[in-house]
Amino acid sequence: MHGKEEINLRQFLLFLFLFVIGTSILLSPSSLANIAKESAWLSVVVGMMIGVAIILFYLLISIWYPDHNIVDLNRLLFGKWVGTIFTLFFIVFALVSAATVLWTIGHFMVTQMLHETPQPFIHILFMFVVIYGVYLGIETIARTSELLFPYVVLLLTIVFVFSIPSMNLNKIKPFFDIGAQDIVKGAWFDLSISTFPLMVLFMVYPKLVQEKKSVGKKVTIAYILAMLTILAATFITTTVLGVEYTHHHIYPTYVLAKTLNIEGLIQRIEVIIAVSWILTIFFKLSLYFYAAVTALSQVLKVNSYRSLTFPLGIFVIVLSLIVYPSSIYASEWNQTTWIYYSATFGVLYPLLIAIATLIRKLFKRS
Amino acid sequence: MWVILYGVILSISWIQIRALWKQSLKRDSFFYIFTMGLSLTILILSQLGLPIPNPLDGISIVYDPVHSLFQ
Amino acid sequence: MKRRLLLLSFTLLFLLTSLTGCWSKRELDEIAIATGLGLDKTENGYKFTVQIINPAEVAAKTISTRTAVTTYTSEGRSLFEALRGLTDKAPRKVYLSHIRKVVFGEELARDGISETLDFLTRDHEFRTDFHIAVAKGMEAHDLLTILTPMEKIPANKMYFSMQTSSEYWAPSLIIKIQQLISTILEDGKEPVISGVYNVGDIKRGSNLSNVEDVGAPTDVRVDSLGVFKGDQLIGWMDQLQSTSYNYIMGNVKNTAEYFECKDKEGSITLEVMEASSNKTVTIKDGEPHFNVEVSVEGNIADVECQIDLMKLDTIKQLEKHFSEQLSILFNDTVSDVQEDFKSDVFGFGDLIHRTKPKYWRTIKDGWEEQFPEVEVTVEATVKINRTGTISNPYEFKKEE
């Protein structure tokens, strides 16, 4: 029915950028301020350095297997049965991630803006857009990202630039006065939200990207730019709001925009943050969902993933309604389980692939 | 509101399943109905206020030893 | 084709009903816009006073005998309960996003404000740009009932008074909620909140006749600072102390500074154009020693004694004289605060924390007891840039 889908490298890089800043731009500063205190920004820097290594590793795998996505790869390396089980785990991971992201946006809207709207309806409305987007195909989403990316950047820049006058470096002094353990912990938390899930992107998309020229350099630059955005968000929230105040808020970046007031001219621009966040999270959610749908349809050997899009979309909505009973559960789960869960897929699993590949090569030779 | 929602979901499903049948994609329509049925069942059950096991709790149990190891 | 049409109409219908944004819509005539909020303590909870705009009056072109604002008061065991209790008194639901001013009653402030701060940040309707003040020596409720001239909405009047005076008058200071909470939460720093008080008769002030008078006999003043320890008000700084506080904290932007002439006859007033402060700490024998340098730049604005301003020497002398006077004032203030309030409003502990984290960890727990004893030196330097539009003062002949 539909031909082979293809996106170009630039679109892939935009995906990468939007995916990384997706949830973390609003959520990370709070947890980082809690874990690493005054050195929250340092955690992001450390995270960025580790992150570059991690995504280059993902890239390496996708260069080894340019024509395999995760389902093919699992079948090739681990055999039909074990491979399928691995794929199912991956699908669960993608679905759970999608559901939690959807829940987060619903929670954000309900706590900060639409106070009396029932949360389920925000989930439903948002997910219907995502379902429609995925149904139209990844190319459509990719073109949408090209269309909306400038707005995301512009809106964030507005908020960041106008925050500069109210920054106070004293609020994050003393520099470096925190144990290395806490910095790594903060970096890990940041990575678990922003970088480990990128595995989803690298395991599904390289098959779609045909342009292979100087990919490594471009991917690294896109990733660093995205992490710098998170760094800016963390740095600005902690210097403007102070460490304690940042970590007591669930969505500090939004609060930052709320506090902004430039001579009475520019004020009440918190909606800008909300809009840019909704845009980025739309892509994050779409990519998770697309990964889950395509992987599942490949496992089930259905004709086209489009036939599963709608029912699985409804499933994500249902899942998002039950995953987090409360916001307390959410932050608790993020800090006790998610960091390991995403690390399993973000670190352990690629390592497993690498090891399996090496063993396979050895066997081939002998 | 929920009634409208169910109406929308069912009518979209109806159109899509009919299209799949016309193309005689039996496998597709089977999984369509299966996934949709599963989702709707859980949705209805959760609306009736029945306790639905949360998949995150399961994941938490698996990762609990890892967490206590790092703590 | 038919299917497409059907799908399209379904989609349109769905979007039409779901994207209108009417879920919990509130039209302007259904909400009561609150501009000021007063919180007081009662025997078993809180008294919650809101000052609500009377929209017909604010927009009215013809003069009427109704007031531009109305206040409603309700009591409850918690603030949120009191807020919701308002619904049976006010005809509309109170909308809190346009709050300009939150005033704590003095009694509540002395009792501790942290519980109320929780509500003020937890509720989503509050923004963070309102000013916080304490009603000095009175209930917040009474303060909010005073009608003010010029600004029809009294909360706005307080807001703008504070806004302008914090820019042009040293003793006043704007405190916003985010600052306040950070200061209470962080170690080695205690907050101050500006005090608001009335002059004249309160009863008269709540009557429209108050603003019909040219002089407005009852009015609201904003020029003193309340010293807190933790979340409790423990005392008030007078105007001079408030001024020194703002100089030491580097909050002064522009103000007038009055000095007596050397021979005590007449005076010179300086218009301060720029002021900054730099705090440093040195550790001697395990004891912290603080050094504050306040540098003030200004123009001569008003001369009421006979001096020769055209000589460089005189200017130098004046600079020296002013510096000495300011230094004495600042040092007095610091030792007064140390003695009377024992509350580290200057953030000296915070300074140690930021610059000498290792040392801070050793003295952190005893800082509260140590603060009144620490040595602080404040040194002010005044620089005179210009003498205004005239050079020497006129030599008018005076009748002896």
Taking CB atoms and an 8 Å limit, are B20 and A307 in contact across chains? yes
- Chains with 3+ CB–CB pairs under 8 A to B are A, C
Strand, helix or coil for residue A70: helix
Q: How far apart are CA C300 and CA C302, in angstroms?
A: 6
Kindly indicate the confidence band of residue B65, based on its pLDDT and cuts at 50, 70 and 90: confident
Q: Which residues contact C260 (CB under 8 A, 6 or more apart)?
A: C266, C267
Q: How far apart are CA A338 and CA A329, in angstroms?
A: 12
Q: How far apart are CA C225 and CA C191, in angstroms?
A: 10
- Parts of chain C belonging to CATH 3.30.300.210: 238-400
Strand, helix or coil for residue A7: strand
According to the model, what pLDDT value does residue A2 have?
44
Q: Please give, rounded to a whole number of angstroms, the shortest distance from the CA of A345 to a CA of chain B.
A: 13
Taking CB atoms and an 8 Å limit, are C18 and A117 in contact across chains? no
Q: Please give, rounded to a whole number of angstroms, the shortest distance from the CA of A41 to a CA of chain C.
A: 16
Q: Provide the sign of the torsion angle of the four alpha carbons C229, C279, A174, C122, taken in this order.
A: positive
Q: Which residues contact C73 (CB under 8 A, 6 or more apart)?
A: C47, C48, C49, C89, C141
Contacts of C353 in chain A (CB under 8 A): 174
- The pair of structure tokens assigned to C384 is 């005179």
**Domain presence at residue A4:** no
Contacts of C189 in chain A (CB under 8 A): none
Strand, helix or coil for residue A22: coil
**Domain presence at residue A3:** no
**Domain presence at residue A2:** no
A121 versus A203: the higher-pLDDT residue is A121
Q: How far apart are CA C282 and CA A67, in angstroms?
A: 65
Taking CB atoms and an 8 Å limit, are B13 and A317 in contact across chains? no
Q: How far apart are CA C10 and CA C16, in angstroms?
A: 10
User: How many interchain CB pairs under 8 A, A with B?
Assistant: 85
Q: How far apart are CA A25 and CA A253, in angstroms?
A: 7
Percent of chain A with pLDDT over 90: 48
Contacts of B70 in chain A (CB under 8 A): 340
Q: Is B43 on the interface with A (CB under 8 A)?
A: yes
- The pair of structure tokens assigned to C394 is 């006129």
- The pair of structure tokens assigned to B17 is 């399943």
Strand, helix or coil for residue B51: coil
Q: Which of A115, A177, A253 to mutate to test the interface with C (most CBs of C within 10 A)?
A: A177
**Residues A168 and A237: beta-carbon distance below 8 Å:** no
Taking CB atoms and an 8 Å limit, are C3 and B19 in contact across chains? yes
According to the model, what pLDDT value does residue A344 have?
92
SS3 string, chain C, reads: CHHHHHHHHHHHHHHHHHCCCCCCCCCHHHEEEEEEEEEEEECCEEEEEEEEECHHHHHCCCCCCCCCEEEEEEEECCHHHHHHHHHHCCCCEEECCCCCEEEEEHHHHHHCCHHHHHHHHHCCCCCCCCEEEEECCCCHHHHHCCCCCCCCCHHHHHHHHHHHHHHHCCCCCCCEHHHHHHHHHCCCCCCEEEEEEEECCHHHHCCCHHHHCCCCCCEEEEEEEEEEECCEEEEEECHHHHHHHHHHHCCCCCEEEEEECCCCCCEEEEEEEEEEEEEEEEEECCEEEEEEEEEEEEEEEEECCCCCCCCHHHHHHHHHHHHHHHHHHHHHHHHHHHHHHCCCCCCHHHHHHHHCHHHHHHHHHHHHHHHHHCEEEEEEEEEEEECCCCCCCCCCCCCC
Q: How far apart are CA A55 and CA A194, in angstroms?
A: 11
Taking CB atoms and an 8 Å limit, are A312 and B35 in contact across chains? yes
According to the model, what pLDDT value does residue C222 have?
79
Q: Please give, rounded to a whole number of angstroms, the shortest distance from the CA of A34 to a CA of chain B.
A: 16
Q: How far apart are CA A35 and CA C174, in angstroms?
A: 31
B25 versus A142: the higher-pLDDT residue is A142
Strand, helix or coil for residue A177: coil
**Per-10-residue mean pLDDT for chain C, 400 residues long?**
84 78 76 89 88 79 76 88 84 86 92 88 83 90 84 84 84 87 86 88 79 78 86 90 91 87 79 90 89 91 81 86 91 92 90 88 88 91 83 73
Q: Which residue numbers of C have CB closer than 8 Å to A's CBs? A: 14, 18-19, 23-24, 121, 124-125, 127-129, 176, 178, 181-182, 185-186, 353-358
Cis peptide before A206 (omega within 30 of 0): no
Q: How far apart are CA C178 and CA A239, in angstroms?
A: 12
Strand, helix or coil for residue A209: strand
Which helix H or strand E contains A261, and what residues bound it? strand A261-262
Query: Residue C93: CA atoms inside 13 Å, Cβ hemisphere, count?
Result: 10
Strand, helix or coil for residue A292: helix
- The pair of structure tokens assigned to C224 is 């003193």
**Domain presence at residue A207:** yes
Contacts of C358 in chain A (CB under 8 A): 177
- The pair of structure tokens assigned to C125 is 């309707």
Taking CB atoms and an 8 Å limit, are B12 and C10 in contact across chains? yes
List chain B domain ranges.
2-70
- Chains with 3+ CB–CB pairs under 8 A to C are A, B
Structural domains of chain A, count = 1
- The pair of structure tokens assigned to A88 is 């199912």
**Residues A291 and A200: beta-carbon distance below 8 Å:** yes
Q: Please give, rounded to a whole number of angstroms, the shortest distance from the CA of B27 to a CA of chain A.
A: 6
Q: How far apart are CA A37 and CA A123, in angstroms?
A: 33
Q: Which residues contact B20 (CB under 8 A, 6 or more apart)?
A: A307, B28, B29, B32
Q: How far apart are CA C23 and CA C25, in angstroms?
A: 6
Contacts of B5 in chain A (CB under 8 A): 124
Strand, helix or coil for residue A178: coil
Res A307 pLDDT > 90: no
For the residues A212-218, what does the mean pLDDT come to?
A: 83
Q: How far apart are CA A78 and CA A71, in angstroms?
A: 11
Fold of C238-400: GMP Synthetase; Chain A, domain 3 (3.30.300)
Q: How far apart are CA C278 and CA C250, in angstroms?
A: 8
User: How many interchain CB pairs under 8 A, A with C?
Assistant: 58
DSSP A109: I
Q: Please give, rounded to a whole number of angstroms, the shortest distance from the CA of A249 to a CA of chain C.
A: 9
Contacts of C17 in chain B (CB under 8 A): 4
**Residue-range definition of the domain harbouring residue A188:** 9-365
Taking CB atoms and an 8 Å limit, are B67 and A324 in contact across chains? no
DSSP A262: E
Percent of chain A with pLDDT over 70: 99
Taking CB atoms and an 8 Å limit, are C124 and A115 in contact across chains? yes
Q: Is C12 on the interface with B (CB under 8 A)?
A: no
According to the model, what pLDDT value does residue A1 have?
36
Q: Please give, rounded to a whole number of angstroms, the shortest distance from the CA of B19 to a CA of chain A.
A: 10
Judged by average pLDDT, the poorest of A221-230, A350-359, B20-29 is B20-29
Q: Nearest chain A Cα to B27, which residue?
A: A302
Among partner residues C23, C124, C355, which is closest to A174 by beta-carbon distance? Answer: C355
Alpha carbon dihedral C337, C338, C341, C347, in 10-degree steps, equals: 80
Phi and psi, residue C49, nearest 5°: -115, 130
Picking from C142, C150, C228, C230, the residue whose alpha carbon sits closest to that of residue C193 is C228
Res A233 pLDDT > 80: yes
- Torsion-angle region of residue C270: left (phi > 0), alpha (psi -120 to 50) or beta? beta
Res A33 pLDDT > 80: yes
